[in-house]
Amino acid sequence: MPILFMMVAPFWGQNAYHLGTLFDERHFGLAKNSLELAVGTICLSLVIGIPLAFLLSRTNLWAKNLFKTLYLIPILIPPYIHAIVWSHLDSWISQFLSLDIHSLYGAIFVLTLAYFPFVTLMTISGIKSIDRNLEEASLIHHGPWKTLRGITLPLALPHILSGALFVFIFSIIDFGVPDILRVNVYPVEIFIQFGALYDERAAAMLSFPLITITLILVMLQKWYMGGRSYVNLTAGSGKDITYHLGIINPLAFTFCLIVFSLSVLIPVAVLVKKAGSLSNYIRVLNTSIDQITYSLILAVLGGLLALFLGFFMSYIIERTKSKVVICLELASLIPFAIPAITLGIGLIKVWNRPTIDFVFRCPLIIILGYIAHSISFTIRIICSGIKQINPHLEEAGFLGTSSWTKVVGKIVMALLTPSLLVGFFIAFILSLGELGTTLLVIPPGRETIPIKIYNLMHYGADQMVAALCLILVGITLAFSAIFLGFYKRAKMFLRC
């Protein structure tokens, strides 16, 4: 309903806008900036992500196992933290890279460091899904370079393009990075119209072209990927083909080290330096323990509810043959394409009403935002897991009992444990670092960690901001390590 409201509101009522408003000079400027930001981030992410994926999946790269463990860490650091860090390095970047970080190109640079792992992850998944017999036959007759150009990359192309579309959508709907770096794009202008100028209809009007673009891209991605899994959770169990880098191994290692340094080591080092002494961390913990606890509780609840709803929607999508299911599957993709700021406005307009305003005035409104923000990912992960379960196992279960809950609980959910863990983890991480929607809907007197970081940043409390950013990153990495342990145990249990 919030999404439907934001699509219909600009053209409804006495003060409705005309479609021609979308084509004025101001809208063209916003569209130009937004598209340049997203396309630039895609291009730079492909330049970094594809070579990195090949090096990590098909070569004898030095310290390959270490880099395979570390390359996803940039995703775990919220993009606005990357922006905060690099804005502190503005003078250094201007001197050595001749780049103004507070510009469109600066935002492209920062968003690339945050999102390139999506391209790497999807490319690795595509490479792992290739029948190695095709590559081996090509290697015998054509050698490594022709095999790479003629077999590996073309067969991995659907996953590469899917990763690029992920980057495009995340970049064009991102609010935190453009806001911090003062780049005027759609999400920032939407926030200004609603939060500063109190013009709800103008905010909805600005949301319309952005929602339209992202929805079209999401549907194209769904059509192009077809029945393929975005990420194959069981890929890589066999022995991979390995290309020996020889004398270029030092160059490849240096490339990976530079990428990891720019996306992880430098940001963490800057935050550590800015945070100062241990006493600052103690002070931040003492003054932020309520916000940390509040954030963790909301993130866990949001992750569990997204998992619960995602499981039932995924099961219906994969196990029911009906035209209604097609509509349900398409509807499950829509929240992924909605900017966080737009979602926040929609939630306010739907729930801030006399008879149901109790939802708007309590933490439930935040949890609803978290669910909407993450459920598309949860459904895709669980659907991928259900596809790998033979329906005959469920049919055999019904021979012993007529209870659907027993069959699903003891067979389907048991076999889905790794996918359920991944679905919860993604929903939890997205919820813990969420900024855009929470900024608009959070009840008075409450703060999550991202909201406190955002507020302190505008007060110029750089030390506290840095310390709180490190605490958020530390919590995220700690939960990631815990998740990895449970995930490995679940995989081992299924193999037994």
DSSP state of 265: I
Look at residues 275, 295, 329 and tell me which one is the last residue of a structural domain: 275
pLDDT band at residue 328, thresholds of 50, 70 and 90? confident
Give Cα 360 to chain centroid, integer Å.
26
Look at residues 275, 297, 314 and tell me which one is the last residue of a structural domain: 275
Q: Could you tell me if 228 and 348 lie in one domain?
A: no
Find, among 255, 260, 252, 298, the residue nearest to 69 by Cα.
260
Q: Could you tell me if 325 and 380 lie in one domain?
A: yes
pLDDT band at residue 287, thresholds of 50, 70 and 90? very high
Q: Could you tell me if 108 and 7 lie in one domain?
A: yes
Only one residue has tokens 């549907």, namely: 219
Q: For residues 433 and 206, what is the distance between their CA atoms, to the nearest angstrom?
A: 25
Torsions phi, psi for 67 (to 5 deg): -65, -35
Q: Is residue 236 over pLDDT 50?
A: no
Find, among 269, 278, 294, the residue nearest to 473 by Cα.
269
Q: Could you tell me if 356 and 443 lie in one domain?
A: yes
Q: Is the Cβ–Cβ distance between 345 and 204 less than 8 Å?
A: yes
Q: Could you tell me if 220 and 305 lie in one domain?
A: no
Which stretches of 59-152 are DSSP H helices? 64-70, 73-76, 79-88, 90-96, 104-128, 132-142, 144-147
Residue 143 CB coordination number (10 Å): 10
DSSP state of 16: P
Half-sphere exposure of 54 (CA within 13 A, CB side): 21
Q: Could you tell me if 115 and 221 lie in one domain?
A: yes
- Residues of the chain with pLDDT > 70, as a percent, come to 92
Give Cα 254 to chain centroid, integer Å.
27
Q: For residues 72 and 195, what is the distance between their CA atoms, to the nearest angstrom?
A: 34
Structural domain tally of the chain?
2
Token digits for 161?
């393009």
The residues, ordered by sequence, that sit 6+ positions from 344 with a Cβ below 8 Å of its Cβ are: 369, 436, 437, 438, 439, 440, 441
pLDDT value at residue 21: 56
Q: For residues 120 and 414, what is the distance between their CA atoms, to the nearest angstrom?
A: 30
Torsions phi, psi for 59 (to 5 deg): -130, 170
Q: Could you tell me if 323 and 271 lie in one domain?
A: no
Residue of higher predicted confidence among 404 and 263: 263
Q: Could you tell me if 280 and 173 lie in one domain?
A: no
Q: For residues 173 and 344, what is the distance between their CA atoms, to the nearest angstrom?
A: 13
Which stretches of 129-199 are DSSP H helices? 132-142, 144-147, 153-173, 176-180, 186-191
pTM: 0.88
pLDDT band at residue 235, thresholds of 50, 70 and 90? very low
Q: Is the Cβ–Cβ distance between 74 and 480 less than 8 Å?
A: no
DSSP state of 242: -
Q: Is residue 79 over pLDDT 90?
A: yes
Q: Could you tell me if 252 and 331 lie in one domain?
A: no
pLDDT value at residue 22: 53
Distances (CA, A) of 378 to 87, 375, 383, 393: 33, 5, 8, 23
Look at residues 248, 275, 302 and tell me which one is the last residue of a structural domain: 275
pLDDT band at residue 8, thresholds of 50, 70 and 90? low
Reported as a single tens digit per residue, the pLDDT across 403-461 is 888 888 888 888 899 999 999 999 999 999 999 899 999 988 899 999 999 999 988 88
Q: Could you tell me if 154 and 34 lie in one domain?
A: yes
Residue of higher predicted confidence among 11 and 436: 436
Where in the sequence is the domain holding 28, given as residue range(s)? Answer: 1-275
Find, among 334, 335, 350, 310, the residue nearest to 440 by Cα.
350
Helix (H) or strand (E) holding 492: helix 462-495
Q: Could you tell me if 298 and 194 lie in one domain?
A: no
Q: For residues 164 and 224, what is the distance between their CA atoms, to the nearest angstrom?
A: 13
Token digits for 369?
């935002």
Reported as a single tens digit per residue, the pLDDT across 168-191 is 999 999 999 999 999 999 899 989
Q: Could you tell me if 66 and 161 lie in one domain?
A: yes
Reported as a single tens digit per residue, the pLDDT across 85-131 is 999 998 888 888 788 999 999 999 999 999 999 999 999 988 888 88
pLDDT value at residue 125: 87
Torsions phi, psi for 60 (to 5 deg): -100, 40
Q: How many residues does the chain have?
A: 496
CATH number at residue 96: 1.10.3720.10
How much of the chain is in helix, strand and coil states, percent to nearest 5?
80, 0, 20
* 90-96-102 Cα angle (round to 5): 25
Compute the average pLDDT of residues 452-481.
93
